[in-house]
């Protein structure tokens, strides 16, 4: 599925892995999160610690309220911190709601709050905006950018959408081929959350130009 994936992140880096669906992005995240142990290679962490993860689906406990879902994952989180998270993610009115009563967008926010509440040394995001409508995805991206900046947390984001990557990441790794490998690495100019439409369009073209021929000649 995957081969020759090698990269190093500095603390506080936000790295995005972009590639077509089915190229093994999720597998890579599962290995990083310790869910998949059937791999060859090594993961070295200078600062190993807690992992906060947002799965493709919210994966909330349906029988616990939004707040309880966050608290169960982060028993040590203070009330102040939870209140701040809920306010940034616009979840304050939904604390006592059960996941079944929440829309997908809101459930995603709860999953984000849960991942940040544990004060992660590494934040792993697996397609956090998939199957949300454009406007909602844009809002959630902005909220996520705020949180990532405030917390200065090392983040690995996996997405098939160049837009997500350009919005949030400092560095972008392009994945392609079968088995997939890293085919290009880019640095995104400008400050997160303040990138102009023109900057994003340029990056998008660059990535398209890089990705297309590589995919075609991939073994």
Partner 1 sequence: MLRLLSLALFVGVWLIGAKLAGGQMLPSPGAVLTAIVTEARSGTLFVALGATLVRVVLSFSLAMVAGTALGLLMGRAPWADAIGDPWLVVTLNLPALVIIVLAYVWGGLTESAAIAAVAINKLPNTIVTVREGARSLDPTLDEMAQVFAMSRGVVFRDVILPQLYPYLAAAARSGLSLVWKIVLVAELLGRPNGVGFEIGTAFQLFDVARILAYALVFVAVMLLIETALVQPLERRASRWRVRVA
Written as one string, the DSSP assignment of 74-116 is -TT--HHHHHHHHHHTT-GGGTT--GGGS-HHHHHHHHHHHHH
| Residue 131 interacting with partner 1 (CB under 8 A) | no
CB of 74 to partner 1, least distance (A): 8
Letters for 62-101 (x = contact with partner 1 by CB under 8 A, - = none) are xxx---x---xxxx----------------------x-xx
Q: How far, in Å, CA of 16 to CA of 124, rounded?
A: 10
Q: Determine the angle formed by the axes of helices 134-151 and 104-117, rounding to 10 degrees.
A: 10
218-to-20, 120, 151, 211, 214 alpha-carbon distances in Å: 13, 36, 38, 11, 6
Q: How far, in Å, CA of 101 to CA of 113, rounded?
A: 17
Comparing CB distances to partner 1, the nearer of 59 and 152 is: 59
CB of 163 to partner 1, least distance (A): 26
The half-sphere exposure of 171 on its side-chain side, counting CA atoms within 13 A, is 16
Letters for 134-153 (x = contact with partner 1 by CB under 8 A, - = none) are --------------------
User: Binding to partner 1 (CB under 8 A): which residues in 10-49?
Assistant: 33-35
Q: Of 13, 57, 67, 119, which lies in the binding site for partner 1, with binding defined by CB under 8 A?
A: 57
Comparing CB distances to partner 1, the nearer of 43 and 197 is: 43
Instruction: Please say whether the beta carbons of 126 and 26 come within 8 A.
Output: yes
Comparing CB distances to partner 1, the nearer of 67 and 149 is: 67
Q: Which spans of this chain sit near partner 1 (rule: CB under 8 A)?
A: 33-35, 50-53, 55, 57, 59, 61-64, 68, 72-75, 98, 100-101, 114, 118
């Amino acid at each position: 599925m995957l081969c020759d994936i090698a990269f190093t992140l500095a603390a506080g880096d936000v790295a995005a892995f972009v590639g077509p669906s089915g190229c093994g992005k999720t597998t890579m995240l599962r290995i990083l999160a310790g869910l998949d142990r059937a791999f060859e290679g090594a993961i070295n962490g200078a600062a190993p610690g807690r992992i906060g993860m947002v799965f493709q689906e919210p994966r909330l406990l349906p029988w616990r309220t939004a707040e309880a879902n966050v608290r169960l994952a982060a028993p040590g989180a203070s009330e102040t911190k939870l209140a701040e998270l809920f306010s940034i993610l616009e979840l304050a009115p939904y604390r006592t709601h059960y996941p079944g009563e929440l829309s997908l967008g809101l459930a995603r926010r709860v999953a984000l709050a849960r991942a940040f509440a544990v004060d992660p040394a590494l934040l792993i995001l697996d397609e956090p905006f998939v199957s949300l409508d454009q406007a909602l995805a844009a809002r959630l991206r902005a909220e996520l950018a705020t949180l990532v900046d405030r917390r200065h947390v090392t983040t690995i984001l996996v997405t098939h959408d160049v837009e997500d990557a350009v919005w949030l990441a400092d560095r972008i790794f392009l994945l392609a081929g079968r088995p997939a490998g890293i085919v290009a690495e880019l640095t995104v100019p400008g400050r997160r959350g303040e990138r102009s439409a023109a900057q994003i369009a340029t990056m998008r073209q660059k990535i398209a130009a890089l990705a297309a021929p590589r995919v075609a000649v991939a073994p």
